[in-house]
Amino acid sequence: MVREGEKAPDFTLQADDRKEVSLSDYRGKKVVLYFYPKDGTPGCTREAIEFKEMAKEFEREGAVILGVSKDSIKSHEKFKQKHDLPFTLLSDPEGKVLDLYGVWKKKSLYGRTFMGTERTTFLIDEKGIVKRTYRKVKVKGHAQVCLLDLKGSGE
């Protein structure tokens, strides 16, 4: 489990443009690393659109937004294109990074138990240290909270 104050574990995943991306590629920038369950679902779409609507403000704070899910690159391409998302989506089909960050959890819905992605966001500073962790994220207003916390952490 990744904790605040610790170095964010590095990883390499394939991005929606089919290039490999490592977290360490963004050293020197703030990173909003958000994990979400599935492209195209109502909550995940709403979350992506909130981040999209505030993308320029995140950029002004020197931050990049990275979305991660188990979805395929093809799914990410469609999702990104359909909603004109201005940030990178990373594919973790084997769930290795989801495990690494402790977001692959036992969930239950309508009395059924299953494994799934717990909607979680990590704010990572320019040195790669986790500054804030948001677990079991409620989508509405989440991007705004992240932005306010990023602005507040401007050491």
Q: Around Cβ 88, how many Cβ atoms within 10 Å? A: 19
44 close to 37: Cβ distance less than 8 angstroms: yes
- The H or E element that residue 32 is part of is strand 30-35
Q: Convert 97-143 into a string of H (helix), E (strand) and C (coil).
A: HHHHCCCEEEEEECCEEEEEECCEEEEECCCCEEEEEECCCCCCCHH
Helix (H, G, I), strand (E, B) or coil at 77: helix
Whether 146 sits among the annotated catalytic residues: the reply is no
Question: Which residue in the list 44, 90, 137, 150 is annotated as catalytic?
Answer: 44
> Would you tell me how many other CB atoms lie within 10 Å of the CB of residue 139?
17
In this structure, the dihedral spanned by the alpha carbons of residues 91, 70, 129 and 56, taken in order and rounded to 10 degrees, is 60
* Catalytic positions: 44
